[in-house]
A and B are shown apart, each in its own frame.
Chain A
Amino acid sequence: MNIFVCVKQVPDTETKIQPSADGTFIETSSIKWILNPYDEFAVEQALLIKQANSGATVTVVRVGGTKDTEALRTALAMGADEAILVEAEDNLDSYMIAKALKGAIEKSGKNPDLILTGKQAIDDDCLQVPQLLAAMMNLPSVSVIVGFEDGEKLTVKREVEGGAIEVYEVSKPAVIACNKGLNTPRYASLPGIMKAKRKPLATHSLADVGVTADDRRVVYSNFQLPPEKPPGKKFDAMDEGAQRGIVKEVIGLLRNEAKVI
C-alpha cells in the first residue's frame, strides 16, 4: 500500500510577515519555517494507516525552497519512510504546485493507493492544491476531513458550514485533505529524529517533474501590510459602578457612530 502525503513548509504562525522590498513576495530571510499545521494531521493519518497495514509505505512530497528542510525532516522524524523534494521558489501558485506534485508522484514509480494533504497551507491560504491535484490525476477528492475510516472504500467526514458534517464514501485511490480535529499528531521522538537523517530523500527540479514558467496561472504583485486602523476608544470599566453607563455608551456608539446595529 503506497501512501503519499503532500506537505508544504510555511512561516510559523507567530511570525511577523513583512513584504519584500520589491513587493513581489514576502521577506523570507528571517522567517522560522515549520511544517504546515494542517499537514501534520495528514502525516499522522498516514502513519495510523501504516500501523494498521504491514507493508504500507509513507512517502512525503514537498515542492518549495531549499533554504530550510524543516517540513520534510519533521514528517520523516514523525515516522514517514521516505521523502521527495521538488526544488522551487517559495512563491509558486497552486496550479504549478499541484502539477509538480503529480509529476513527482508519477516519477516515484509507485502507484498511489491514497494521497493525503492538509486542507490548506497557512501561507497563501488558497485551498486549491488537493482538489487541483485530484482533477489533474483524475481521482476523487474530499476536503476538510475530520473523520477517517479505512476499508474497501474510505468513509470520511467532511466539515461544512456551522459545524455540520457530510459523510462520504470514497473509492480508492483518492485525495483526502485533512482538517484539525481529525487526529492528534504525534511529536517526533529523539530516536525518530536521529533515524530521519538516514531516510531516503530524492530531489528533483521543476523541469524534472514537467513544470515550466508557462504553467503559472496566478500572478501576485504589490504585497503590502494591511492598513492600520486609527486608534479606537477605550473605556475603563473595572469599577462596577461605572459598568452599566459604559455599556450603554458603547451600544450608542455602535448604533450612531459605527452604524453596525
Chain B
Amino acid sequence: MAKVLVFTETTANSVKSVTLEILGKLSGQSIDVVAIGDVPEEGIKALAAHGAENIHKLKGDNLDKYSPEGYANALKGFISSGNYDYVFAGSTALAKDLFPRLSGLLDSGMASEVTNFIMEGDNFNGTRPLFAGKCLAKVTIQGPKPHFVTVRPNALGMPESPSSGAGNVQEASGSAGEIRAAIKEIIKSASEKVDLTEANIIVSGGRAMKNAENFKILNELAEVIGATVGASRAAVDSGYAPHSMQVGQTGKTVAPSLYIACGISGAIQHLAGMRTSKCIVAINTDPDAPIFTKADYGIVGDLFQIVPILTEEFKSFLG
C-alpha cells in the first residue's frame, strides 16, 4: 500500500470535485488530504466519505492567498515530514502553476494532467494525452520520492460507491518563506461561470458565428442547460471571442460530459482539444465537415435556426 497525499483546493462550501475523483481512484491506498487554510464542513464530510484518513489544514503567515513560492515552500515542509510516496492534485490553474515548482524543490518527477491511472501495488501507472490528445502514452515516474501527479478534472469520473476513511481533521503549521512574486490584486471575470476545463457541459462557437454579437444565442442556450461557452481558434483569431474561451491545441483541452459544437468545422487542432468529451453534438451546414466524424449526434443545419430551437426545447424539457 502506497502512502499518498492529495492536495485539494476548496470552493465556497466544499472541495473541488476533482479531488473526490482522485480519492475514488486511489481506493485501497493510505490517503491523506492537505489543504491550505480551512476546509468547509461539507468538504470535510465529502473527503471522509471518499476515503481520506487524515485531513490536514496547513496554516501560517502569508498563506491567506496564493503565491507560487509561499504555497510551494509551505507544502515542501509539510511533505518532507510525511514520507509520502505520491502527491496528487487536480490539474487546475493553481496546481498547474504550483506543482512543477513544488516537485522541483524536492528534486522529484511529475506526471502532468493524466487522464487515467492505476496503482499496481505501490506503483503509479498513468495514461496521458500528448500533442493535445492526438496521441496517448503510458507514463511512469522514477527518481527521488515523493512522485507528483496532476489529474485532469472530469477525466476519471466520480466513484460510484466510494469507500470511506476516518477523516481525522488536523492542523499543521506551514512556512511560506520569502515571497518575491505576490498577488496585488485579483480582477474578477465578468462571467461567474465554471471554467471550461472544469465544465460539465460546453457550448462552443466557430467561425460560422460571424461576429461576437451572435455569441448571444450560445449564451442563451448555455444559460438554460448550465453550460460554459467556448470558441474555436478561428472564432478567437477573428476577434469574436477572447483567448480564454478558446478550445483546442493552443487553447484549452476540455473533457465535459456534453460538448455542443456550433458552426465549427473541426480542424485537427480543435478536435485535439475536445475529442475526449463524453458526448459530442455538432451543428454545421456542411455535411462533410470533419467535426461530424467525432460527433455522437450530428445535426446538418444552420446553427442560427437550430440553436434557438435547442434552447426552447431544452427549456421545456428541463423546465
Q: Are B104 and A132 in contact (CB under 8 A)?
A: yes
Check: A1 CB closer than 8 A to any chain B CB. Answer: no
Besides the known contacts A233-B296, A234-B287, A243-B305, 18 further A-B residue pairs in the complex with CB atoms under 8 A apart: A16-B134, A94-B110, A126-B110, A131-B98, A131-B104, A146-B243, A160-B94, A163-B189, A163-B190, A219-B140, A234-B298, A234-B300, A243-B306, A251-B310, A251-B317, A254-B279, A254-B281, A260-B258
- Which of A15, A94, A169, A223 is B137 in contact with, Cβ under 8 Å? A223
Q: Are B135 and A160 in contact (CB under 8 A)?
A: no
Q: How far does the alpha carbon of A167 sit from the alpha carbon of B182 in the complex, in Å?
A: 8
Q: How many residues of B contact A (CB 8 A)?
A: 100
What per-residue 1/0 map shows which CB atoms of B271-310 lie under 8 Å from chain A?
Answer: 0000110111100010100001111111111100110011
Q: How far does the alpha carbon of A166 sit from the alpha carbon of B101 in the complex, in Å?
A: 18
What is the minimal beta-carbon distance from B66 to any residue of chain A, in angstroms? 8
Which B residues are CB-close (under 8 A) to A26? 130-131, 135
Check: B111 CB closer than 8 A to any chain A CB. Answer: yes
What is the minimal beta-carbon distance from A139 to any residue of chain B, in angstroms? 8
Q: Are B131 and A128 in contact (CB under 8 A)?
A: no
Q: Are A164 and B186 in contact (CB under 8 A)?
A: yes
Check: B188 CB closer than 8 A to any chain A CB. Answer: yes
Q: How far does the alpha carbon of A15 sit from the alpha carbon of B267 in the complex, in Å?
A: 11
Q: How many residues of A contact B (CB 8 A)?
A: 90
Q: Are B300 and A141 in contact (CB under 8 A)?
A: no
Q: Are A223 and B135 in contact (CB under 8 A)?
A: yes
Q: How far does the alpha carbon of A244 sit from the alpha carbon of B314 in the complex, in Å?
A: 11
What is the minimal beta-carbon distance from B18 to any residue of chain A, in angstroms? 12
Which A residues are CB-close (under 8 A) to B194? 162
Question: Can you name the residue of chain A whose Cβ is closest to the Cβ of B115?
Answer: A226
- Which of B141, B185, B249, B297 is A254 in contact with, Cβ under 8 Å? B297
Q: Are B189 and A171 in contact (CB under 8 A)?
A: no
Q: Are A235 and B195 in contact (CB under 8 A)?
A: no
Q: Are B297 and A235 in contact (CB under 8 A)?
A: yes
Check: A14 CB closer than 8 A to any chain B CB. Answer: yes
Q: Are B100 and A218 in contact (CB under 8 A)?
A: no
Q: Are B139 and A17 in contact (CB under 8 A)?
A: no
Which B residues are CB-close (under 8 A) to A155? 184
What is the minimal beta-carbon distance from A47 to any residue of chain B, in angstroms? 21
Which B residues are CB-close (under 8 A) to A174? 180-181
Chosen A-B contacts, 13 in total, with CB atoms closer than 8 Å, are A128-B110, A131-B99, A132-B103, A139-B180, A158-B97, A163-B191, A166-B185, A226-B135, A229-B294, A233-B296, A234-B298, A237-B300, A237-B306
Q: Are A224 and B104 in contact (CB under 8 A)?
A: no
What is the minimal beta-carbon distance from A43 to any residue of chain B, in angstroms? 16
Check: A125 CB closer than 8 A to any chain B CB. Answer: yes
- Which of A159, A219, A243 is B244 in contact with, Cβ under 8 Å? A159
- Which of A37, A95, A141 is B101 in contact with, Cβ under 8 Å? A141
Check: B265 CB closer than 8 A to any chain A CB. Answer: no
Q: Are B142 and A219 in contact (CB under 8 A)?
A: yes
- Which of B72, B242, B300, B310 is A163 in contact with, Cβ under 8 Å? B242
Check: A248 CB closer than 8 A to any chain B CB. Answer: yes
Check: A142 CB closer than 8 A to any chain B CB. Answer: yes
Chain A residues 73-99 with CB under 8 Å of chain B are 93-95, 98
Which A residues are CB-close (under 8 A) to B244? 159, 162-163, 181
Which B residues are CB-close (under 8 A) to A4? none
Question: Can you name the residue of chain A whose Cβ is closest to the Cβ of B251?
Answer: A180
Query: Known contacts A216-B142, A237-B300; is A247 also within 8 Å of B309 by CB?
Result: yes
Which B residues are CB-close (under 8 A) to A220? 130, 137-139
Check: B268 CB closer than 8 A to any chain A CB. Answer: yes
What is the minimal beta-carbon distance from B148 to any residue of chain A, in angstroms? 9
What is the minimal beta-carbon distance from A124 to any residue of chain B, in angstroms? 5
Which B residues are CB-close (under 8 A) to A254? 258, 279, 281, 297
Chain A residues 107-126 with CB under 8 Å of chain B are 122-126
